[in-house]
Amino acid sequence: ETGVTQTPRHLVMGMTNKKSLKCEQHLGHNAMYWYKQSAKKPLELMFVYSLEERVENNSVPSRFSPECPNSSHLFLHLHTLQPEDSALYLCASSQGLGGYEQYFGPGTRLTVT
Amino acid sequence: TQLLEQSPQFLSIQEGENLTVYCNSSSVFSSLQWYRQEPGEGPVLLVTVVTGGEVKKLKRLTFQFGDARKDSSLHITAAQPGDTGLYLCAGAKRRSGQAGTALIFGKGTTLSVSS
């Protein structure tokens, strides 16, 4: 058990749908991250939150909207996605920002049809 | 341009064999981490190396950080089917123009160990 949970584990959505991914960490960490993992590509960092404040947004399209209501919860709101957005979306947390050891959740496998 | 190159990309071996996978870069990292990811799961941290030349052992896994802190290797002795997975290296690097460091991931080495 990693201490970071993600729901749902699998999601299929149409391009006109709105859905949200949820991440919860039980490790007492103060930084949380969203990553996108596609086939044949390195993990792509999307967003970074430190103490509930967004500190990094790596040129992610506005159809992805993160929310961090407290240091234990992180959401990724999705709307009008494209088929190329299909991927594994991973949440991670760390005690300390950036290069510190990160603990990942199991991911949400997203398929956009 | 890929900042961290991992090789080989794929490796398929028999149980009991030894293997080494590599993580190379032209950049210097303040630390480097190795993760293992199984299908359908998130990466799990195996080890962090910090000092140039450092060697860490985790049972049958030996991790080495290069003297110049630009590269790393992972050696597995007597591989077992349970070692199957995607091995990712990630280097911590100061972010240009911003505070703090970022974790840069390689594409990974996919290891398959058959019995």
Secondary structure in 3-state letters for A8-50: CCEEEECCCCEEEEEEEECCCCCEEEEEEECCCCCCEEEEEEE
Which residue in chain B is spatially nearest to A4 when comparing CA positions? B42
pLDDT of B97 above 60: no
3-state SS string for chain B: CCCCEEECCEEEEECCCCEEEEEECCCCCCEEEEEEECCCCCCEEEEEECCCCCEEEECCEEEEECCCCCEEEEEECCCCHHHCEEEEEEEEEECCCCCCEEEEECCCEEEEEEC
Verify whether the Cβ–Cβ distance A98 to B103 is below 8 Å. Answer: yes
Instruction: Indicate the residue of B42, B92, B102 with minimum beta-carbon distance to A107.
Output: B42
* Predicted pLDDT at A28: 92
Instruction: Indicate the residue of A41, A99, A109 with minimum beta-carbon distance to B31.
Output: A99
Band (pLDDT 50/70/90 cuts) for residue B95 is low
Verify whether the Cβ–Cβ distance A104 to B44 is below 8 Å. Answer: yes
Instruction: Indicate the residue of B30, B42, B107 with minimum beta-carbon distance to A2.
Output: B42
* Predicted pLDDT at A32: 92
* Predicted pLDDT at B17: 98
- What pLDDT digit, counting tens, does each position of A67-109 carry? 999 999 999 999 999 999 999 999 999 987 766 788 999 999 9
Mean pLDDT score across all residues of chain A: 90
Q: Which residues in chain B touch residue A4, judged by CB atoms under 8 angstroms apart?
A: 42
pLDDT of A31 above 80: yes
Counting every residue written for chain A, the total comes to 113
pLDDT of B68 above 60: yes
Q: Which of A36, A37, A51, A93 to substitute to test the interface with B, most B CBs within 10 Å?
A: A37
Band (pLDDT 50/70/90 cuts) for residue A27 is very high
Q: Which residues in chain B touch residue A98, judged by CB atoms under 8 angstroms apart?
A: 92, 95, 100-103
| Weakest mean pLDDT among A40-44, A45-49, B80-84 | A40-44
* Predicted pLDDT at A109: 96
Which residue in chain B is spatially nearest to A9 when comparing CA positions? B40
Mean pLDDT score across all residues of chain B: 91
Instruction: Indicate the residue of A97, A106, A107 with minimum beta-carbon distance to B100.
Output: A97
Verify whether the Cβ–Cβ distance A4 to B4 is below 8 Å. Answer: no
| Weakest mean pLDDT among A78-87, A92-101, B59-68, B91-100 | B91-100
* Predicted pLDDT at B96: 61
Q: Is some CB atom of chain B closer than 8 A to the CB atom of A87?
A: no
* Predicted pLDDT at A53: 76
Q: Which residues in chain A touch residue B88, judged by CB atoms under 8 angstroms apart?
A: 43
